[in-house]
């Protein structure tokens, strides 16, 4: 009765791949940690809002980590991501509050309402991200310059541009912020406050964008030819060339995607904070790298998964939340536990991969 | 005889061609300043608060201000050459060393030269232990240097914070001032003297040990190094430990300049500048052959650029953007693809000229 | 008969600086035949393959392939594939982090999305059709090397190749895996694919091949039908006579049995070699012989501690010593010139001087650097003594020709004044003149009381220099020849394992 082909695929459960193994570990650790937090510290962790708060605060980080994961899968790196995010946020806020003359004039000449500035800001975000991606990608892929140096320069440029635009922090007008910061209220996940009134769980639009991007990138990495090329190029550049892939173009595309995602992240960041500041998203690039690593992406390339990265961001931010709620309010505990966690993950990965490698011989 | 001489001068240029890029960069900056404002070069003797004569001027502030960067670049050169990767935790490590330095001085009662020396030795030891930790991850676990040092990058400054219990204590004493600015009676800023001392230290190290040869050998060919009896992991570890020492020296300079430790701002982002200095100095970021002098010149070039921009009244926060542009230009010129293309064009031109000549004949 | 020919190469020439890698070589491949390409190291097999796959451009000659009337020019591996020439290399050029199915189809599909279902179904059919024991969804890195190799072959077959080149496909496979691979090769044969089989295992050649082309020193020795060429004759064609200009060199010393035993190993073994006993007298030149892959290199690596030593007792001058890593061996006066000069020998970017003093420097220790003056003097002395052709002592060693690189490494060990020198293929891939120089040097060293273990792919060379030969096959020592037994015939029959009675 069984068809032979079906039979084979059912009977043989494939041994899990490196990517899947590292992903599983990450998800397990995150779940264990969250459950432990609920059991030990209870309080805020019992409410779903805690999870939503974590997501609201870190939506932008999810997006730049996705971009970084793509780049890391190809065996490259981009440390300009947070700089671009901050630059986009600053530009966006300045468009919104009308301190960018060009856009104000444009708006006036077209006779558009103030809310049209949001569209300008969004377009500008994409444009900046695209430009960074194009230039960095070209220099790295076609001129074969070290990605670290180029994207470091990108970071310097972005951070420098922010203060050239405005030294003082900028604030978006409240009217426009009200539109941007509209939250999605989920009643059934709400929890009662002190007076017993059910407060619905609130989620920002940025989170929806971030999750959409995670899904889109996941599909691209899995289903699209270009996505599979990223893995091939990262796994073994020489082999990829022999298999007939355009290695240069593939690396270029990875940086291009990363740039665009950084731009989108900037817009999401602006939606969340509504303010432009020189210190926006400070050290975001390192948080993004850490998230990707915790999520099972290897800096050596070829192995990685955006779902893992998503959980990587959640793990990192949950550690911070736990440290804060457990009474260790001093900020140093956050980074020390983050560092310890990172150390654990890095060692774990290196030992697992070393052992796998040895078994093969 | 003349033949011989010719060969040696030619050799000098071919052997040191990598120094050309930083030298040209420094020269161009100086010429630019000469045209812009000849008074840029004036060096004056002023009197400081204690009535001692001290040197002042832009050139002095370039040399003085670059001290921490130069010292760290020296160590970074070794790590880059031996391990083929970069240490991004140097700023954090310097913060830790500085905190230990301050902690010891604070706990010692009256500040005497012996106490300062003891504090320096202890903080060097601590920094070298942390360097050893980084080195172990790299050499024993085979983790990429950037990932391995990401751990300390994340939590290093928090460890520094924790050492001094979250405060930013000041250590005002003539001895500390002497270390950070001027020794009474000596018109040259002390940090410059410390850099000279470090240069002598590495000079002696290279003169009286084989470290230079070993590091290059390990960086170029690990297999052959092992077969010639070199302890590969040990050499890598040593490079990281020496970088730890450099961080301690830089940390002490940084603390002494301000007579206080601020764990969050001390030597912020210096890892990026140090890696840049190594790259501008013509050293391959993938390891192997190195010239420490190149990195030192690279560091001074970066500082010269910064001071030039300051002198042009560019706000300190904007400097990064201009720096980025110069960096990109430098690395694009140095990229193998561009070099090859230029060589091709030159060959074509020469070919055309020779055919033109042939036609004339 | 003529129609059966699918590929002809005529008068192929290729030179590298200092070496003539291929000199007027012909090669013909027929439809549905397995054609073995044989020769020792430096014979020119891999150069010929690389010319055919477009990795190297040839200096002269022509290549014709069925379906094209005029000679073709192949500029890149991609072009070779378009002509229907596919190659499966020893080091697998697939991506270990992708699945089997992806490795089969990546880089070949035209649509921008991946249809996993049909792709896996197609892959499954292809693998099943060829009898390859791999499942489409497996990660390539998780399956054995043999199956990975077969996947690479499947990919080549699926691109409708006419010529399939298998470059040393069996060197890291066990017997069962080799059998699987052969079944696949025979299957492809019946489908009309012409297979070029590069290997150094004699039995395997006789098991699957139809024809054999033998190369030696970049020249064509001849093309033979397998059933008309006995094994011993094949060996003699591969490593047999060489040029006359070397015939003046001869080791006259016979082992007297009086000399002091310098080095002695009992049941020495490493991660790469099986247990073996070995000894060498003071001033003796002996050699490990056997074909590539017989374990000759692994044995000397174990002596030097180059691989992880797993057991054994070692005595030097009768005193028990511990040699587990290279530095131990060096401290006991042993020097080792590795087989793979590029990977294990030279420090390419460093100067000739630094390369020469490296071993002596390591022996003197970190705290005792050789002064610049002394280093220059040492370098100059050996550049002169060994006649190393270099622009100056400051020249990066990577820019020298192969022979001169080899001399630099020799100089490196001579400078340490070793008591015992191990030379693994010192004459590989270098010109005849330098070969003679190195052989004379070996004999001179022996006269001065240095013991030398010499490995070479050319048996003549070993017969001239060695007074004792240790013969290896399949990682075991199968014979030891001295005195009157040191003849080509004896060595070859021992290698093949038939004693004296060759029919």
Mean pLDDT for back-to-back runs of 10 residues, chain B (361 residues): 44 65 85 86 80 84 94 97 93 96 88 92 97 95 88 91 84 88 88 96 94 95 94 96 97 93 88 90 88 95 90 86 86 79 83 64 50
Determine the Cα–Cα distance for residues C269 and C266; give it in Å rounded to an integer.
9
Residue A160 predicted with pLDDT over 80:
yes
Structural domain includes residue A191: yes
Structurally, chain A folds into a number of domains equal to: 1
Using alpha carbons, select from C442, C463, C461 the residue that is nearest to residue C453.
C442
**Residue B98, SS3?**
helix
Q: Which residues of B touch A335 (CB under 8 A)?
A: 154-155, 157-158
Q: What is the pLDDT of residues C77-134, one digit of tens each?
A: 778 888 888 888 777 778 888 889 999 988 877 778 888 888 899 999 999 988 888 8
Q: DSSP of A293-310, one letter per residue?
A: HHTT--TTSS---HHHHH
- Which range, B74-88, C11-25, C169-183, is most confident? B74-88
Give residue C500's pLDDT. 45
Which residues of chain A make contact with B279, given a CB cutoff of 8 A?
A: 146, 149
Instruction: Please check whether residue A128 is in contact with residue A92, taking contact to mean a CB–CB distance below 8 angstroms.
Output: no
Per-residue CA distances from A299 to A304, B125, B276, C135, C454 (Å): 9, 31, 20, 29, 44
Q: Cβ C306–B217 below 8 Å, yes or no? A: no
Q: What is the pLDDT confidence band of residue C39, given thresholds at 50, 70 and 90?
A: confident
- B158 close to A (CB below 8 A): yes
**What mean pLDDT do residues C372-388 have?**
93
For residue B177, the tally of other CB atoms under 10 A from its CB is: 20
Quote the distance between the C-alpha of residue B260 and its chain's center. Answer: 23
Evaluate if residue C497 carries a pLDDT over 80. no
Could B210 and C366 be called an inter-chain contact, meaning their C-beta atoms sit closer than 8 Å? yes
∠ CA B155-B157-B160, nearest 5°, is: 110
- Binned at pLDDT 50, 70 and 90, residue A14 comes out as low
Residues 328-357 of C with CB under 8 A from B: 330, 336, 338, 343-350, 354
Once rounded to an integer, what is the mean pLDDT over residues A259-278? Answer: 93
DSSP secondary-structure letter at A105?
H
% chain C with pLDDT above 70: 92
pLDDT for position B7: 46
Residue A177 belongs to a domain with what CATH number? 1.10.3470
CB neighbours (10 Å) of residue B287?
22
List all residues 6 or more positions away from B182 whose beta carbon is below 8 Å from its beta carbon. Answer: B48, B52, B54, B188, B189, B190
Q: Of C108, C111, C116, which is closest to A244 when you measure between CB atoms?
A: C108
CB contact under 8 A, C93 and A242: yes
What domains does chain C contain, in order, with CATH numbers? 2-239 (3.40.50.300), 261-333+418-496 (3.40.50.300), 352-416 (no CATH)
**Residue C456 confidence (pLDDT) above 90:** no
CA distances from C222 to C32, C36, C46, C480 (A): 21, 12, 17, 31
| CB spacing of B323 vs A156 below 8 angstroms | yes
Q: What is the pLDDT of residue A227?
A: 93
In this predicted structure, what is the pLDDT of residue C370? 92
Is a pLDDT exceeding 90 seen at residue A346? no
A272, A204 contact by CB (below 8 A): yes
Please check the confidence at residue A63 and state whether its pLDDT lies above 90: yes
Q: Does A9 touch chain C (CB under 8 A)?
A: yes
pLDDT, position B221? 93
C95, C98, C114 ranked by CB distance to A225: nearest: C114
Count H helices and E strands in chain B, helices first.
16, 2
Token couple for C420: 């015992």
Q: What is the pLDDT of residue B354?
A: 66
Say how many C-beta atoms besides its own lie within 10 A of residue C222's C-beta. Answer: 12
Identify which has the larger pLDDT, B3 or C190: C190
DSSP bridge pairs for C453: C286, C422
Q: Find which of A274-288, B230-244, C143-157, C483-497 is predicted with most confidence, using mean pLDDT.
A: B230-244
According to the model, what pLDDT value does residue C1 have?
44
B272/A286 touch (CB, cutoff 8 Å), yes or no: no
Residue A305 inside a domain? The answer is yes
Task: Provide the pLDDT for residue C417.
Answer: 94
Q: What angle do CA B135, B140, B145 make, to 5 degrees?
A: 45
Domain-embedded: residue A253: yes
User: Which has the higher per-residue pLDDT, C1 or C35?
Assistant: C35
**Which residues in chain A have their CB less than 8 angstroms from residue B161's CB?**
330-332
Question: What is the distance between the alpha carbons of residues A65 and A265, in angstroms, rounded to a whole number?
Answer: 10
pLDDT of residue A361: 45
pLDDT at C254 over 70: no
Put simply, whether B312 touches A (Cβ < 8 Å) is: no
Q: How many CA atoms lie within 13 A of A164 on its CB side?
A: 14
Give the number of other Cβ atoms within 10 Å of residue C487's Cβ.
Answer: 12
Mean pLDDT over residues C170-189, rounded?
Answer: 82
Q: Which residues contact C490 (CB under 8 A, 6 or more apart)?
A: C481, C500
Residue A361 lies in a domain: no
The separation between the first and the last C-alpha atoms of chain C, rounded to the nearest angstrom, is 32
H helix or E strand, kind and range, residue B80: helix B67-83
> Residue B135: its pLDDT value, please?
96
Quick check: A289 and B150 CB within 8 A? yes
Would you call A15 and C142 a contact, using CB atoms and an 8 Å cutoff?
yes
Residue A57 is predicted with a pLDDT of: 92
Q: Tell me if A152 and B327 make a contact (CB, 8 A cut-off).
A: yes
The minimum CA-CA distance between A247 and chain C, rounded to whole Å, is 10
Mean pLDDT, range C219-233, rounded to an integer:
87
pLDDT of res. A13: 62
Check residue C241 and give its pLDDT: 53
Checking if the pLDDT of C502 tops 80, the result is no
Q: CB pairs below 8 Å between A and C: how many? A: 85
Whole-model pTM: value is 0.84
Lowest mean pLDDT segment, chosen from A308-317, B95-104, C66-75 = C66-75
Nearest chain C residue (CA) to B230? C362
Q: H or E stretch including C220?
A: strand C219-225
Answer for the pair A272, A150: CB distance below 8 angstroms, yes or no.
Answer: no
Domain assignment of residue A81, given as a range: 17-356
**Strand, coil or helix: what is C300?**
helix
The answer as to whether A1 is a domain residue is no
pLDDT at C432: 66
Task: Please name the chains neighbouring B, where neighbouring means 3+ C-beta pairs under 8 angstroms.
Answer: A, C
DSSP SS3 for B273: helix
Interface test with B, best of A148, A291, A357 (most B CBs within 10 A): A148
Report CB contact under 8 Å: B224, C346.
Answer: yes
3-state class of B166 per DSSP? coil
Per-residue pLDDT band for C240 (boundaries 50, 70, 90) equals: low
| C contact test, residue of A22, A242, A358 with most C CBs within 10 A | A242
Look at residue A9 and tell me if it is in a domain.
Answer: no
Helices (H), chain A: 4-11, 18-41, 48-73, 81-96, 101-110, 116-137, 147-165, 174-180, 205-223, 225-235, 237-242, 247-273, 284-294, 306-325, 331-360
User: Is a pLDDT exceeding 70 seen at residue C35?
Assistant: yes
Q: Is residue A150 part of a domain?
A: yes
Mean pLDDT (chain C, rounded)? 85
Tell me what pLDDT residue B22 has: 83
Share of chain C above pLDDT 90, in %: 36
Using pLDDT thresholds of 50, 70 and 90, give the confidence band for residue A7. very low
The pLDDT score that the predictor gives to residue B5 is: 41
Cα A234 from Cα B148, distance rounded (Å): 20
The C85-88 sheet, strands edge to edge? C60-65, C5-16, C19-30, C219-225, C211-216, C34-38, C194-198, C163-167, C85-88
Whether residue A279 is contained in a domain is answered as yes
What is the predicted pLDDT for the residue at C327? 94
Q: What pLDDT is recorded for position A323?
A: 82
Selection from C196, C241, C200 nearest residue C219 by Cα: C241
């Amino acid at each position: 009765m069984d068809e032979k082909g079906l039979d084979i695929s059912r009977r043989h459960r494939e041994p899990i791949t490196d990517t899947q193994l590292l992903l599983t570990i990450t998800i397990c650790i995150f779940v264990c940690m969250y459950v432990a937090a609920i059991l030990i510290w209870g309080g805020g962790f019992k409410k779903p809002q805690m999870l939503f708060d974590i997501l609201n605060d870190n939506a932008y980080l999810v997006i730049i980590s996705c971009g970084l994961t793509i780049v890391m899968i190809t065996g490259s790196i981009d440390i300009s991501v947070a700089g671009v995010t901050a630059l986009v946020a600053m530009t966006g806020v300045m468009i919104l509050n009308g301190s960018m003359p060009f856009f104000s004039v444009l708006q006036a000449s077209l006779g558009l309402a103030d809310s049209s500035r949001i569209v300008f800001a969004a377009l500008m975000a994409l444009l900046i991200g695209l430009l960074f991606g194009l230039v960095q990608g070209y220099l790295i892929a076609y001129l074969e310059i070290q990605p670290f140096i180029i994207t470091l320069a990108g970071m310097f440029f972005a951070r420098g541009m922010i203060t050239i635009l405005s030294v003082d922090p900028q604030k978006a007008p409240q009217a426009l912020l009200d539109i941007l910061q509209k939250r999605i209220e989920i009643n059934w996940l709400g929890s009662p406050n002190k007076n017993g009134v059910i407060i619905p769980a609130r989620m920002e639009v940025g989170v929806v964008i971030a999750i959409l991007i995670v899904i889109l990138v996941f599909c691209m990495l899995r289903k699209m030819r270009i996505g599979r090329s990223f893995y091939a190029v990262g796994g073994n550049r020489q082999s990829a060339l022999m298999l007939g892939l355009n290695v240069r173009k593939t690396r270029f595309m990875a940086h291009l995607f990363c740039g665009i995602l950084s731009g989108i992240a900037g817009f999401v960041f602006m939606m969340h904070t509504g303010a432009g500041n020189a210190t926006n998203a400070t050290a975001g690039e390192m948080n993004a790298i850490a998230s990707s690593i915790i999520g099972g992406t290897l800096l050596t390339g070829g192995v990685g998964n955006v779902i893992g990265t998503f959980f990587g961001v959640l793990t990192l931010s949950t550690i911070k939340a736990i440290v804060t709620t457990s009474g260790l309010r001093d900020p140093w505990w956050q980074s020390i536990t983050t560092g310890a966690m990172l150390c654990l993950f890095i060692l774990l990965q290196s030992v697992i991969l070393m052992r796998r490698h040895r078994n093969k011989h | 005889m003349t033949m011989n001489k010719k060969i040696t001068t030619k050799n000098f240029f071919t052997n040191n061609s990598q120094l050309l890029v930083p030298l040209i960069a420094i020269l161009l900056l100086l010429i630019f300043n000469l045209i812009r404002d000849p008074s840029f070069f004036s060096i004056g003797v002023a009197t400081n608060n204690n009535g001692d004569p001290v040197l002042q001027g832009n050139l002095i502030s370039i040399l003085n201000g670059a001290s921490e960067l130069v010292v760290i670049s020296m160590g970074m050169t070794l790590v880059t050459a031996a391990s083929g990767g970069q240490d991004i935790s140097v700023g954090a490590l310097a913060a830790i060393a500085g905190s230990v330095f301050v902690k010891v001085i604070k706990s010692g009662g009256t500040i005497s030269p012996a106490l300062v020396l003891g504090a320096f030795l202890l903080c060097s030891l601590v920094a070298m232990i942390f360097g050893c930790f980084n080195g172990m991850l790299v050499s024993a676990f085979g983790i990429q240097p950037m990932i391995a040092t990401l751990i300390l990058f994340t939590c290093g400054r928090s460890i520094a914070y924790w050492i001094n219990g979250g405060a930013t204590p000041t250590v005002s004493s003539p001895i500390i001032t002497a270390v950070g600015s001027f020794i009474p009676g000596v018109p040259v800023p002390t940090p410059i003297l410390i850099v000279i001392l470090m240069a002598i230290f590495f000079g002696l190290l290279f003169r009286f040990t084989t470290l230079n040869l070993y590091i290059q050998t390990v960086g170029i060919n690990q297999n052959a190094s092992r077969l010639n009896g070199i302890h590969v992991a040990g050499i890598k570890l040593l490079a990281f430990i020496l970088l730890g020492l450099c961080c301690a020296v830089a940390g002490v300079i940084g603390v002494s300049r301000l007579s206080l430790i601020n764990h969050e701002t001390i030597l912020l982002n210096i890892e990026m500048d140090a890696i840049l200095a190594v790259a501008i100095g013509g050293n391959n970021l993938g390891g192997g052959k190195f010239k420490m002098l190149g990195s030192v010149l690279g560091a001074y070039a970066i500082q010269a650029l910064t001071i030039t921009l300051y002198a042009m009244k560019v706000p300190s926060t904007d400097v990064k953007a201009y720096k980025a542009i110069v960096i990109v230009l430098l690395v694009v010129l140095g990229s193998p693809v561009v070099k090859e293309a230029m060589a091709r064009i030159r060959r074509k031109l020469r070919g055309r000229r020779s055919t033109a000549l042939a036609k004339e004949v | 008969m003529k129609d059966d020919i699918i590929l002809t190469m005529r008068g192929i020439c290729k030179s590298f600086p200092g070496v003539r890698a291929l000199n007027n070589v012909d090669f013909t491949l027929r439809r549905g035949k397995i054609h073995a390409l044989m020769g020792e190291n430096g014979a020119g097999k891999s150069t010929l393959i690389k010319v055919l796959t477009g990795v190297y451009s040839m200096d002269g000659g022509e290549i014709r392939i069925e379906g094209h009337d005029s000679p073709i020019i192949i500029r890149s591996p991609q072009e070779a594939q378009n002509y229907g020439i596919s190659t499966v290399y020893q080091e697998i050029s697939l991506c270990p982090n992708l699945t089997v199915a992806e490795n089969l189809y990546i880089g070949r599909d035209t649509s921008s999305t991946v249809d996993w279902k049909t792709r896996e179904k197609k892959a499954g059919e292809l693998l099943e059709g060829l009898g390859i024991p791999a499942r489409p969804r497996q990660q390539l890195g998780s399956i054995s090397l043999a199956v990975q190799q077969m996947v690479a072959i499947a990919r080549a077959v699926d691109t409708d190749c006419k010529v399939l080149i298998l470059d040393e496909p069996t060197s890291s496979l066990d017997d069962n895996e080799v059998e699987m691979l052969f079944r696949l090769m025979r299957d492809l044969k019946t489908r009309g694919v012409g297979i070029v089989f590069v290997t150094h295992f004699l039995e395997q050649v006789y098991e699957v091949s139809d024809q054999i082309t033998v190369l030696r020193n970049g020249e064509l020795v001849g093309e033979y039908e397998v059933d008309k060429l006995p094994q011993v004759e094949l060996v003699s064609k591969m490593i047999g006579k060489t040029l006359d200009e070397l015939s003046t060199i001869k080791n006259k010393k016979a082992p007297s049995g009086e000399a002091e035993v310098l080095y002695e190993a009992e049941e020495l073994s490493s991660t790469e070699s099986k247990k073996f006993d070995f000894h060498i007298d003071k001033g003796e030149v002996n050699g490990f012989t056997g074909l590539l892959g017989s374990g000759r290199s692994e044995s000397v690596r174990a002596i030097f501690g180059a691989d992880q030593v797993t057991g054994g007792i070692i005595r030097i001058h009768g005193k028990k010593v511990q040699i587990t890593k290279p530095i131990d061996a060096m401290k006991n006066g042993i020097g080792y010139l590795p087989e793979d000069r590029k990977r294990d020998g030279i420090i390419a970017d460093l100067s000739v001087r630094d390369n020469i003093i490296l071993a002596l420097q390591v022996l003197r220790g970190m705290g005792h650097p050789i002064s610049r003056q002394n280093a220059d003097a040492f370098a100059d002395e050996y550049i002169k003594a060994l006649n190393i052709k270099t622009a100056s002592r400051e020249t990066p060693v990577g820019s020298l020709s192969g022979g001169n690189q080899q001399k630099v490494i020799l100089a490196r060990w001579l400078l340490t004044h070793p008591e015992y020198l191990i030379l693994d293929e010192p004459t590989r891939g270098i010109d005849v003149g330098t070969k003679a120089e190195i052989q004379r040097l070996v004999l001179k060293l022996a006269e001065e009381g240095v013991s030398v273990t010499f490995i070479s792919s050319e048996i003549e060379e070993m017969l001239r220099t060695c007074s004792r030969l240790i013969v290896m096959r399949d990682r075991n020592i199968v014979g030891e020849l001295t005195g009157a037994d040191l003849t080509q015939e004896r060595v070859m029959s021992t290698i093949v394992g038939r004693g004296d009675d060759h029919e």
